[in-house]
Amino acid sequence: MKKYIIKGGNRLSGEVSISGAKNAVLPILAATVISGKSSLISNIPRLKDVEVMVAILKSLGAEVDWGIDGILVNSSTINSVSLPEELVREMRSSIILMGALLARFGEAKLSYPGGCEIGPRPIDLHLKSLRQMGVVIEEAHGYLHCKAAELNGADIQLDYPSVGATENIMLAAATAKGTTVIRNAAREPEIIDLQDYLNKAGGKIKGAGTSIITIEGVKTLYECSHNIIPDRIVAGTFMVAAAITQGEVVLKNLVVEHLQSIIAKLRETGTYIESDGNLIRVVGVQNISSIEMLQTLPYPGFPTDMQAQFMALLSIAKGTSIINETVFENRFKHGEELARMGAHIKTFGKVAVIKGVNELTGAKVYARDLRGGAALVLAGLAAKGSTEVGNIHHIERGYDGFHTTLHRLGADIQLV
């Protein structure tokens, strides 16, 4: 199995240009199914999860060409509504194809998406919402068979601002009969990007980024092209890399507005941050301050996808920090691995208490999920001695050339 070997202690310095957002490109690639025409999506990171989504589109019969100016999808040739089980298992977020297939064909068949490393990941909000739109869903033998003679607009109140459920409803509603309102919708920037793509294709959607999204069903969607927004979590990860190594890094091609909660919490640790237009400069300090309470929340709150990276940073802060992971059930596995590097972390359900230590020591650790794996790399950059991070396939799902970028910034890291 591939692993990273990191010799800690180097300060990072230099510039990073941020790639397109994984969590924007996945729902937008699903949305290309609806029009039955061509869509050119650009600024796409080369990630495992994107390759899986491309494989799923091809398995449905779409023509997909991943060239230098992005991914060209011609969905006119799609001739199946059944998602391949092995690919759905590989990537939970393929559940958003359900809404797109229902919009185009009125039918979708897929195996129940497995939970994953960070908790059970139910899909009850997706199913309840689609049923409100007239979808009949049979759940049997681990399969979901969805059928809708006609998709009707509905007034949907989400119990929780689920990102995936909001996206699935938008896709199913885009060409439904009548108008759909989503209340308590997720407000993530990736939802706005999905709205932008759908409207460019002729959709009539408004309110993305707020808690109430209104989708007026249209007859059909058209050919269009769309440029994906920068990845705020990749940007946040490199900001923490600068902070944890007391380095100085400039990040370009990002949307500062999407990073406000990460900037605020990093500043609380004493890290110096200045932003100008679509550029951020991060300067790490020797004495990292602890954070009294770091709570993960739906956007615009502090993102759960940055929790692990901050736990690594707070492991070497002066003082004790508390993290409250309110979004997922079981997202502290990286804590056990950080403890092998000398971190003092105690977890109580959704709360973790991190007592800062002077320094971490290199050890053999294993990535257990995407962001937890990235956090172990960050810890290795700061640890004394050599750290081996195994199971890095988790990391490759969400970071395009992670070690090559870190190496270019001065990290002593190699892939073996």
Active site positions, annotated: 116
The CB-of-126 to ligand EPZ minimum distance in angstroms stands at 5
Distance CA 244, CA 2 (A): 24
CB of 117 to ligand EPZ, least distance (A): 9
> Which residue of 185, 241, 327, 379 would you call a contact of ligand EPZ, by CB under 6 A?
327
Whether residue 131 contacts residue 158, with contact meaning beta carbons closer than 8 Å, is answered with: no
Compute the radius of gyration of the chain from its Cα atoms: 21
* Closest chain position to ligand EPZ (CB): 164
By CB under 6 A, is residue 139 in contact with ligand EPZ? no
Sequence letter at residue 413 = I
Kindly give, in sequence order, each residue whose CB lies less than 8 Å from that of residue 99, ignoring residues fewer than 6 positions away.
30, 126, 130, 167, 168, 169, 170, 171, 172
CB of 124 to ligand EPZ, least distance (A): 5
Instruction: Rule CB under 6 A: say whether 125 interacts with ligand EPZ.
Output: yes
- The verdict on 236 binding ligand EPZ (CB under 6 A) reads no
Amino acid in position 349 = G
In 115-188, where does DSSP find H-type helix? Answer: 124-132, 163-173
Give the H or E element holding residue 258. none
If the CB atoms of residues 26 and 377 are measured against ligand EPZ, the closer one turns out to be 26
Residue 160 C-beta: closest distance to ligand EPZ, Å: 5
Binders of ligand EPZ in range 5-24 (CB under 6 A): 22-23
Is 189 near ligand EPZ (CB under 6 A)? no
Q: Does 301 bind ligand EPZ (CB under 6 A)?
A: no
Q: Does 370 bind ligand EPZ (CB under 6 A)?
A: yes
- 164 counts as binding ligand EPZ under rule CB under 6 A: yes
One residue of 122, 349, 393, 414 binding ligand EPZ per CB under 6 A: 122
Q: Which is nearer to ligand EPZ, 116 or 283 (CB)?
A: 116
- Interface segment toward ligand EPZ; rule CB under 6 A; list 155-163, 264-272, 336-344, 408-416: 155-163
Rounded Cα gap, residues 193 and 209, in angstroms: 9
* C-beta of residue 6 within 8 angstroms of C-beta of residue 411: yes
Q: Pick the closer one to ligand EPZ by CB: 197 or 328.
A: 328
Closest CB to ligand EPZ among 106 and 119? 119
**Contact letters for ligand EPZ, residues 59-98 (x by CB under 6 A):** ----------------------------------x-----
Q: Which sign does the torsion angle of CA 175, 229, 401, 233 carry?
A: negative
**CA–CA separation, 290 and 268 (whole Å):** 8
DSSP letter string, 287-356? SPBP-S-EEE-STTSB-GGGHHHHHHHHTTSBSEEEEEE-S-SS--HHHHHHHHTT-EEEEETTEEEEE-
Q: Rounded distance, CA 325 to CA 311, Å? A: 11
* 25, 163, 280, 354: residue in contact with ligand EPZ (rule CB under 6 A): 163
Tell me which of 65, 69, 85, 124 binds ligand EPZ, using CB under 6 A.
124
Q: How far apart are CA 73 and CA 261, in angstroms?
A: 35
- Of 162-170, 237-245, 283-291, 357-365, the segment contacting ligand EPZ by CB under 6 A is 162-170
What is the identity of the amino acid at 380? Answer: G
Of residues 6, 16, 26, 28, which one binds ligand EPZ by CB under 6 A? 26
Could you say whether residue 123 binds ligand EPZ (CB under 6 A)?
yes
Asked if residue 230 has a cis previous peptide bond (ω within 30° of 0), the answer is: no
Strands, sheet with 38-42, edge to edge from the N-terminal-most edge strand = 63-67, 70-74, 38-42, 224-227
Smallest gap from Cβ 223 to ligand EPZ, in A, equals 25
Which of 192, 338, 398, 411 touches ligand EPZ (CB under 6 A)? 398
Handedness of CA 126, 99, 231, 118 (dihedral sign): positive
Q: Which stretch binds ligand EPZ (CB under 6 A): 2-10, 120-128, 146-154, 342-350?
A: 120-128
Whether 4 and 377 have beta carbons less than 8 Å apart is answered as: yes
Stretch that binds ligand EPZ, among 58-66, 71-79, 119-127, 403-411 (CB under 6 A): 119-127
| Chain positions contacting ligand EPZ, by CB under 6 A | 22-23, 26, 93, 119, 121-126, 160, 162-165, 186, 304-305, 327-328, 370-371, 398
